[in-house]
């Protein structure tokens, strides 16, 4: 049986670099903004929502098309789209009785693309 040692990253420094701490403190967003950002990132924690965002990067789609693409019910897709709308990640436009969903703006596509680049890195 072999014994493995685990190195834990820790800082043995006892000195607080006050000027660094103060400079960063000035640049930190307000608490409410950080909470909203945390909520935004929580939305990305569901694979169905990520698949919907991926699909909408390629084309505007209605609920029926998204449901067919993902092999899910329209009800399940509508539920996820509601969450994505509430966090302003997607929007829709009405064409008669059909709602076409799209990414809310370029920022959403950029966040998604950056995340995809990050997970594909080796």
Q: What is the tens place of the pLDDT at every residue in 59-71?
A: 999 999 999 999 9
Q: Give me 120's structure tokens.
A: 């594909």
d(CA 110, CA 53): 11
Pick from 113, 112, 72: nearest CA to 89:
112
Q: Class of the 18-120 domain?
A: mainly alpha
Average pLDDT, rounded, for the chain? 92
Q: What is the tens place of the pLDDT at every residue in 43-52?
A: 999 999 999 9
Q: Average of pLDDT values for 77-81?
A: 98
pTM (whole model) above 0.85: no
DSSP 89-101: SEEEEEETTEEEE
Q: Tell me the H-state helices in 2-122.
A: 18-27, 31-43, 47-58, 63-70, 74-86, 106-120
Pick from 96, 42, 90, 39: nearest CA to 66:
90
Q: What are the residue ranges spanned by the domains of the chain?
A: 18-120
């Amino acid at each position: 049986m072999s014994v493995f040692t685990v190195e834990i990253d820790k800082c043995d420094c006892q000195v607080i670099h006050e000027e660094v701490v103060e400079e960063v403190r000035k640049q930190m967003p307000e608490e409410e903004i950080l909470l909203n950002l945390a909520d935004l990132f929580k939305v990305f924690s569901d694979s169905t929502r990520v698949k919907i965002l991926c699909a909408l990067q390629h084309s505007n789609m209605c609920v029926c098309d998204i449901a067919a693409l993902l092999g899910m019910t329209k009800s399940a897709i509508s539920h996820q789209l509601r969450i994505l709308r509430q966090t302003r990640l997607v929007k829709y436009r009405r064409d008669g009785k059909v709602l076409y969903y799209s990414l809310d703006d370029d920022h959403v596509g950029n966040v998604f693309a950056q995340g995809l680049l990050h997970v594909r890195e080796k």
